[in-house]
């Protein structure tokens, strides 16, 4: 089978049958296109172990991303794995459809070091949450946005998708996350109060929870836009601006707030399985990255028994 037909069928499969988002589908297409072009693959049968091994060598020796005009060494192992994961998923699909192809097991991912978590302290978090000026609708919106991130541990795309019809009489709501999986997230009293104040100040009929506010008019939405819902990039910018205002020198992103949500739960005694469910992780190994920075019991053991002089 020619590679373009097989690739198209694979992308349709992960979108329709596996329920992957359009962004995920585009990412798979990007990595497959670059991989097939580099290896000169025209048919599925062209993807051989020899071509794969040579491709991996080229990946490993490829220059890394440029930082301030300077190339930062070779391509990171994580980036190399994006190509390999896409190829392995494609080969698994071929096997599922009885298309003669290289065995998926022939692709082993590059070994990466332990994941580094970008964390902020609880003091920095409190400063961040208290920074928005709640005398304006923009400040009310941003306060609600930050409190909601920390209360629920939502992903950026999940928060963007929220509508204003959230039932604030309850402490929980359902969210559809990655892979179209539905999970329950929980609202703190602070988050509910911030959302109530923000929605009370809204004078529009927009469906979206978080919308673009005009700079000059504190109570008016930006005119002339068909979709006033905040974009992921806009929310990233908002979080970054408040982190700077709060005097936090580290890079703070929506995902850092998700980290804070998880580490706060684990530090206060929550079990890892519950945190996995609240984060919407398919694999508990993804959640376990937080345990090495939150294990209070180990700290207490060290404090109690180490160097009793």
Same domain (yes/no): 129, 160? yes
For 142-164, what is the mean pLDDT? Answer: 91
Same domain, 82 and 171: no
> Is there a domain that residue 160 lies in?
yes
Question: What mean pLDDT comes out for the span 38-44?
Answer: 91
Inside any domain, residue 114: no
Beta bridge partner(s), residue 196: none
Q: Hunting for tokens 């990946």 — which residue is that?
A: 59
Residue 305 lies in a domain: no
Residue 211 CB neighbours (<10 A): 19
Tokens 């080969």 correspond to what residue?
A: 91
Same domain, 8 and 60: yes
Picking from 91-95, 231-235, 265-269, which range would have the lowest pLDDT averaged per residue? 265-269
Q: Which residue, of 41, 75, 106, is where some domain finishes?
A: 106
Which residues participate in catalysis according to the annotation? 155, 178, 255, 258, 281, 290
Owning domain of residue 61: 3-106
- The reply to whether 159 and 29 lie within a common domain is no
The DSSP result for the chain, as a single string, is -BHHHHHHHHHHHHHHTS---HHHHHHHHHHHHHHHHHHT--BGGG--HHHHHHHHHHHHHSB--EETTEE-SBPPHHHHHHHHHHHHHHHHHHHHTT-----GGG--PPP-PPPPP----HHHHHHHHT-S-TTSHHHHHHHHHHHHHHHH---HHHHHT-BTT--TTSSEEEEE-GGG-EEEEE--HHHHHHHHHHHHH--S--SBSSB-B-SS-TT-BPTT-S--BPPHHHHHHHHHHHHHHTT--S---HHHHHHHHHHHHHHTT--HHHHHHHHT-SSHHHHGGGGGGT-HHHHHHHHHHS---
Domain count, the chain: 2
Q: Are residues 63 and 137 in the same domain?
A: no
- Considering the domain architecture, whether residues 165 and 270 belong to the same structural domain is answered as yes
* Same domain flag for 91 and 240: no
Contacts within 8 Å (CB) and 24+ apart, 23-26: 23/157
Can you tell me which residue has the tokens 């399985």?
Answer: 273
CATH number at residue 18: 1.10.150
Question: What CATH number corresponds to the domain at position 198?
Answer: 1.10.443.10
Q: Are residues 151 and 212 in the same domain?
A: yes
- Mean pLDDT, residues 275-284: 80
Structure tokens at 37: 């072009």
Between 122 and 294, where is the model more confident? 122
90 and 132 in a common domain? no
| 140/59 same-domain check | no
Residues 151, 31: one domain?
no
- Alpha carbon of 308 to those of 90, 300, 302, 303, 305: distances in Å? 57, 14, 10, 9, 7
- The mean predicted confidence, pLDDT, of the chain is 84
Domain boundary among 44, 75, 106: 106
Of 247, 267, 271, give the one whose Cα is nearest residue 259: 267
Greatest mean pLDDT among 1-15, 68-82, 102-116, 178-192 lies in 1-15
* Predicted confidence band of residue 114 (pLDDT cuts 50, 70, 90): low
Within-domain flag for 10 = yes
- 116 falls within a domain: no
pLDDT tens, residue by residue, 76-108: 888 888 999 999 999 999 999 998 888 998 888
CA distance 256 to 277: 18
Question: Given pLDDT bands bounded at 50, 70 and 90, which one contains residue 277?
Answer: confident
Instruction: Determine the pLDDT at residue 218.
Output: 46
98 and 221 both lie in a single domain: no
Q: How confident is the model at residue 9 (pLDDT cuts 50, 70, 90)?
A: very high
In this model, does residue 18 exceed pLDDT 90?
no
The pTM assigned to this predicted structure is 0.68
| Residue bearing the bigger pLDDT, 307 or 137 | 137
- Note the Cα 100 to chain centre separation in Å: 35
Residues 260, 290: Cα–Cα separation, whole Å: 10
For residue 117, being part of any structural domain is answered with: no
């Amino acid at each position: 089978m020619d590679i373009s037909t097989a690739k198209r069928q694979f992308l349709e499969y992960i979108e329709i049958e596996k329920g992957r988002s359009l962004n995920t589908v585009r990412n798979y297409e990007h990595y497959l296109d670059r991989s097939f072009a580099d290896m000169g693959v025209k048919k599925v049968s062209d993807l051989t172990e020899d071509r794969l091994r040579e491709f991996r060598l080229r990946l490993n020796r490829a220059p890394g991303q440029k930082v301030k005009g300077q190339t930062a060494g070779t391509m990171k192992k994580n980036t190399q794995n994006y190509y390999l994961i896409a190829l392995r998923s494609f080969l698994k699909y071929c096997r599922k459809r009885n298309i003669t192809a290289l065995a998926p097991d022939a692709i082993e991912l590059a070994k990466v070091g332990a994941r580094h978590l970008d964390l902020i302290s609880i003091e920095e978090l409190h400063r961040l949450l208290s920074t928005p000026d709640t005398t304006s609708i923009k400040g009310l919106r941003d306060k609600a946005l930050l409190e909601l991130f920390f209360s629920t541990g939502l992903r950026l795309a999940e928060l963007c998708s929220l509508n204003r019809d959230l039932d604030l009489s309850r402490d929980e709501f359902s969210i559809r996350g990655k892979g179209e999986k539905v999970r329950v997230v929980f609202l703190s009293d602070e988050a509910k109060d911030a959302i109530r104040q923000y929605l009370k100040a809204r004078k529009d009929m927009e469906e979206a929870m978080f919308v673009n506010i005009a700079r000059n008019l504190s109570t008016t939405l930006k005119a002339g836009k068909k979709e006033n819902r905040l974009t992921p990039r806009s929310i990233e910018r908002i979080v970054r601006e408040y982190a700077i205002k709060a005097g936090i020198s580290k890079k703070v992103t929506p995902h850092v707030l998700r980290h804070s949500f998880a580490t706060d739960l684990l530090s206060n005694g929550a079990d890892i399985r519950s945190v996995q469910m609240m984060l919407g992780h398919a694999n508990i190994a993804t959640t376990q990255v937080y345990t090495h920075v939150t294990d209070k019991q180990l700290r207490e053991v060290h404090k109690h028994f180490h160097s009793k002089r």
